Amino acid sequence: MTPPHAGGEAFLQARELSKSFFGVKVLKEVGFTLDKGEVLGLVGENGSGKSTAMNILGGIHQPDSGQMTLAGKPYRPTGPKDAQRAGLAFIHQELNLFENLSIEENVFISGFPKRRGLPLINRRKIGKETKRLLDLVDLGHPPGTRVGKLSQGERQLVEIAKALGFDAKVIIFDEPTTSLSRRESEKLFTIVGRLKAQGIGVIYISHILGDVLRVCDSVQVLRDGAVAGGGPRASMSIDKIISMMVGRKIGNLFPPRESHPGEVVLDVAGLTQPGVVKDVSLSLRSGEVLGVSGLMGAGRSELARILFGLDPFKSGTITVEREPLENPSPEICMARGLAFLTEDRRAEGLLMEASIRDNVALSSLNSYARGLSHRLSWPKLDRDVAEVSDKVKVNTSDYIRMLVKHLSGGNQQKVVFAKWLLRQPSIFILDEPTRGIDVGAKLEVYKIINQLVLDGAAILFISSEMEELIGMCDRIMVMNRGEVTGFHERGDFDGERILETAMSVGLREPEQADRKER
């Protein structure tokens, strides 16, 4: 590791933290330092160990080895309460606010000031105090406003006010800008600058490297659970950070593939569902990967769900292999050769409490049923499950007893792939197929996708990672607020331009206005 501050005792120090889950080392002797009034950027791909490191800091996990010190004293939190008491505040991507409560109630949720000698909440006091805290973060709403009425950015400011309320010495931001408008992001950066001036240490975790370079004093890069590099801002650049993150040139991460698109197998025309998608048209050919880019809430996952018959649509047509797809349901879509890898593996992709075998077999049970009673032919099923699981390299041999919840993210995703491969579908809808899995597993997922394409499958590839889309797709479709705003051909890919079409500021701002009105 290369600590940004070599000499002297830093305010927060972590040394050689290591942690394993189920025998897999996810954190390997990671260390970092943070001074008062310093902003440390922590970057790395999903699965690089950032969240484990932060969970250790927050007392959710305990390290297998390594030490931490805070203000010169040993720091060993055994739960979130310890962390809070020690002066650490976490501002998560999914904000932990109670939408049905007011700002002031949220700020004081973990300990309301009481009236002296009485078990009654001192309303006046919390109102006054909240007002003071809101002024610090430039939020003009009265303390009694219900949090549900605030925009994402405003909610984040409430979280910061809450942290200031219990006198936080260190504030950790986890992907703070992903759901903010540009203007809200700018405001956040101002507040971060103000925190810094007050002597508060900030750890800033983000995928948006431009932001990181802008707000941070120093940057530390994690890769595969270990420190891959870092240093003061002056010595870093986006290119340098990326090469530290992936450990190789981007080009190498995406295995080369020849592209021979064939017939149109999925044709969507004028697909509309009010408030979700508007007039979406696309055509997907066999042997082709069509990427779908866009910001959170652009309607990408919603489009995928409609195509797979999980959600309704009001007008438009879907044609699969020249036959119209009517009244789609997952069963009908599957019968027509579609497969759908959901963005949320845990909630919708897998039976976490079931074995690999049960998961892989789930979508194909009827093909292994005999007779009137649909009795299963176990030996044949087990054989095929093993075969397809081996093919995608699920990293275990006990398919029958190993529960999916005990697998790593990458292996879980391979189980989902195996489930669909067993059906041999011709059209794959992949929604964030590499979310939350490590680099090695990503590479394997890319190889699986390329093999599918070579075998003639058509793939709709939804992803938030620009490099991935550029590296994998034949074409990229961009969505913004439920509408298709452009198509980009391979050879004509330009990350900046794609991002521009995805964000087109003019379209995004009214959304904020809408939200406030609600």
Partner 1 sequence: MPIDAAETPVDTKVEIPKVRAFRRLLERLILSEYLVFYITGVYFLIVWPIVPEIASFSSLRNILTDMLPLLVVAIGQTFVLIVAGIDLSVTGVIAMASVVGASIMTSDGGYLQGSALAIPVGIIAFLVVGGLIGGFNGWCVTRLNMPPIIVTLTGMMFLGGAAIWFTKAHSPTSSIAGLPRAFVAIGGGTFAGVPIALFVAIAVVVVAHFLLSQTVFGRWLYAIGINPKAAKVSGVPVDKAILWAFVISGVCAAITSMLLTGRLETGTPVLGQRILLDIIAAVVIGGTSLAGGKGKIIWTVGGVLFLVTIDASLKLLGSSLFIVFAVKGGVILLAVGLDAMRQRILARGSG
Nearer to partner 1, 261 or 330 (CB): 330
Stretch that binds partner 1, among 230-238, 265-273, 347-355, 495-503 (CB under 8 A): 347-355
> Mask 262-291, x = binds partner 1 (CB under 8 A)?
------------------------------
Backbone angles phi, psi at 42, to 5 degrees: -120, 115
Phi, psi of 196 (to 5 degrees): -60, -45
For 146-158, the three-class secondary structure string (H helix, E strand, C coil) is: EHHHCCHHHHHHH
Write out the binding residues for partner 1, residues 49-108 only, by CB under 8 A. Answer: 69-71, 73-78, 82, 85-87
| Angstrom distances, CA of residue 253 to CA of 14, 256, 291, 371, 439 | 31, 9, 17, 48, 9
What is 435-447 written as a DSSP string?
TT--HHHHHHHHH
Q: What CA–CA distance (Å, rounded) separates 449 from 417?
A: 10
For partner 1, which residue of 419, 442, 488, 508 counts as binding (CB under 8 A)?
419
Pairing of strands 201-205, 39-43: parallel
Torsion over CA: 393, 395, 401, 406 (sign)? negative
Lookup: tokens for 343: 């963005």
Q: Which is nearer to partner 1, 179 or 363 (CB)?
A: 363
- Shortest Cβ distance from residue 73 to partner 1 (Å)? 4
Name which of 380 and 497 has its Cβ closer to partner 1: 380
Specify the 3-state DSSP secondary structure of 402.
coil
Residue 343 CB neighbour total at 10 angstroms: 20
Q: Is residue 342 a contact residue for partner 1 (CB under 8 A)?
A: yes
Total residues interacting with partner 1, rule: CB under 8 A? 42
Is the Cβ of residue 383 or residue 406 nearer to partner 1 in the bound state?
A: 406
Separation CA 3–CA 13 (nearest Å): 10
Q: Closest approach of Cβ 375 to partner 1, in Å? A: 5
Q: Which of 11, 173, 340, 417 binds partner 1 (CB under 8 A)?
A: 340
**Which position among 238, 351, 400, 507 is part of the footprint of partner 1 (CB under 8 A)?**
351
Ordered DSSP codes for 177-237: TTTS-HHHHHHHHHHHHHHHHTT-EEEEE-S-HHHHHHH-SEEEEEETTEEEEEEEGGG--
Which of 352, 465, 481, 486 is in the footprint of partner 1 by CB under 8 A?
A: 352
Strands 12-21 and 65-70: antiparallel
Q: Does 310 participate in binding partner 1 (rule CB under 8 A)?
A: yes
Output the CA torsion sign for 511, 273, 468, 430.
positive
Residue 211 binds partner 1, judged by CB under 8 A = no
Contact letters for partner 1, residues 362-391 (x by CB under 8 A): xx-xx-xx---xxxx---------------
| Binding status of residue 177 toward partner 1 by CB under 8 A | no
DSSP state of 404: G
C-beta of 12 vs 228, nearer to partner 1: 12
Residue whose C-alpha is closest to residue 343's, from 289, 377, 291, 305: 305
| Residue (26 or 484) nearer to partner 1, CB | 26
Nearer to partner 1, 87 or 143 (CB): 87
Q: Does 327 bind partner 1 (CB under 8 A)?
A: no
Half-sphere exposure of 389 (CA within 13 A, CB side): 25
Q: Which is nearer to partner 1, 135 or 344 (CB)?
A: 344
Q: Which is nearer to partner 1, 213 or 354 (CB)?
A: 354
Residue located via tokens 């990293």 = 395
Please report how close the Cβ of residue 201 comes to partner 1 at its closest, in angstroms: 14
Amino acid at 454: L
Closest contact distance (angstroms) between CB of 343 and partner 1 is: 11
In whole angstroms, the minimum distance from the beta carbon of 377 to partner 1 comes to: 10
Between 57 and 503, CB nearer to partner 1: 57
- Asked if residue 400 binds partner 1 (CB under 8 A), the reply is no
- Positions that interact with partner 1 (CB under 8 A): 69-71, 73-78, 82, 85-87, 308, 310, 330-331, 334, 340, 342, 347-354, 358, 361-363, 365-366, 368-369, 373-376, 406, 419
